[in-house]
């Protein structure tokens, strides 16, 4: 008998044959898609076993034939929201490949900002999450790094990307920013608060870093932060080579 939770068996198409009981009237991916639609429309707090069951025409108890808990439901939601990777690495070098990987998965998260608010209860086990891991490792496949180093490099890039999406969306810094908003007038506001004698480094860095007329904070800081990480990986590759 499989030790996999039922939701994973369903997602991977590994449900045992000859199972007793009525045949499920929906797929677990359809359950996840309904939950994703609720989260996109009304926020993560609106997602419950009851609200998802109603969305697919089930009773809450019927939903437990697919998932045993809200944690499992959220794992299915993440898998549906991420979808499978669709990356064309072509003849790109490792740096361009991992940049494409990081950018594309960040776009999936931006399309569903609630994804970065979830705290998964297990490491990735669902099909699309595993496929994204495989694509990340493929991006680094022709480097002299060990498997452990590739996993660590991929994890560092991914965790940083998640945090950048989370921070940018929470602070309202994705896309054009209204110059009259607190975000748009941040330089003026912080200049009023900091004393150059007390905070000399911030007093110097503020105008230089915040007064460069960024058209899109999210995009520009994503590129800068990712570049720093890739420089570190490049140094690791040079030492390994």
Structure tokens at 154: 């991929």
**Lowest mean pLDDT, pick from 103-107, 200-204, 228-232:** 200-204
DSSP state of 45: G
Q: Which long-range contacts (CB under 8 A, 24 or more apart) does 55-61 make?
A: 56/26, 56/30, 56/31, 58/26
Distance between CA atoms of residues 202 and 199, nearest Å: 5
Mean pLDDT of the chain: 89
Of 216, 213, 195, nearest to 204 by C-alpha is 195
Q: Does residue 81 surpass a pLDDT of 70?
A: yes
Predicted confidence band of residue 26 (pLDDT cuts 50, 70, 90): confident
Which H or E element spans position 138? helix 127-139
pLDDT in tens, 129-146: 999 999 999 999 999 999
Q: What is the CATH number of domain 94-176+215-240?
A: 1.10.357.10
Phi-psi domain of 18 (left: phi exceeds 0; alpha: psi -120 through 50; beta: other): left
What is the per-residue pLDDT for 193? 77
Q: Does residue 203 surpass a pLDDT of 90?
A: no
Predicted confidence band of residue 125 (pLDDT cuts 50, 70, 90): very high
Mean pLDDT in residue range 81-89: 96
Distance between CA atoms of residues 189 and 195, nearest Å: 12
What is the per-residue pLDDT for 152? 97
pLDDT in tens, 27-62: 999 999 999 999 999 999 999 999 999 999 999 899
What is the per-residue pLDDT for 19? 55
Q: What is the CATH number of domain 6-82?
A: 1.10.10.60
Structure tokens at 86: 């669709």
Domain boundaries, the chain: 6-82, 94-176+215-240
Q: Does residue 75 surpass a pLDDT of 80?
A: yes
Of 10, 14, 38, 35, nearest to 24 by C-alpha is 10
Q: Does residue 207 surpass a pLDDT of 70?
A: no
Predicted confidence band of residue 231 (pLDDT cuts 50, 70, 90): very high
């Amino acid at each position: 008998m499989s030790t996999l939770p039922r939701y994973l068996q369903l997602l991977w198409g590994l449900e045992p044959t000859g199972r007793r009981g009525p045949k499920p009237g929906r797929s677990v991916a359809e359950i996840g898609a309904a939950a994703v639609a609720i989260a996109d429309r009304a926020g993560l707090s609106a997602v419950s076993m009851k609200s998802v069951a109603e969305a697919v025409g089930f009773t809450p108890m019927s939903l437990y034939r697919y998932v045993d808990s809200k944690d499992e439901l959220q794992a299915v939601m993440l898998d549906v929201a991420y979808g499978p990777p669709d990356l064309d690495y072509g003849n790109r070098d490792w740096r361009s490949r991992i940049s494409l990987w990081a950018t594309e998965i960040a776009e999936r998260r931006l399309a569903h900002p609630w994804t970065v608010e979830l705290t998964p209860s297990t490491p990735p086990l669902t099909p699309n999450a595993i496929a994204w891991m495989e694509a990340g490792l493929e991006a680094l496949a022709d480097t002299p790094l060990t498997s452990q180093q590739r996993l660590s490099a991929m994890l560092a890039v991914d965790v940083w990307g998640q945090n950048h999406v989370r921070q940018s969306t929470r602070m309202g810094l994705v896309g054009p920013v209204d110059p009259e908003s607190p975000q748009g007038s941040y330089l003026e506001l912080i200049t009023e608060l900091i004393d150059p004698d007390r905070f000399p480094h911030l007093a110097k860095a503020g105008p230089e870093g915040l007064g460069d007329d960024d058209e899109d904070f999210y995009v520009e800081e994503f590129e800068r932060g990712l570049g720093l990480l890739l420089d570190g990986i490049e140094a690791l590759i040079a030492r390994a080579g």
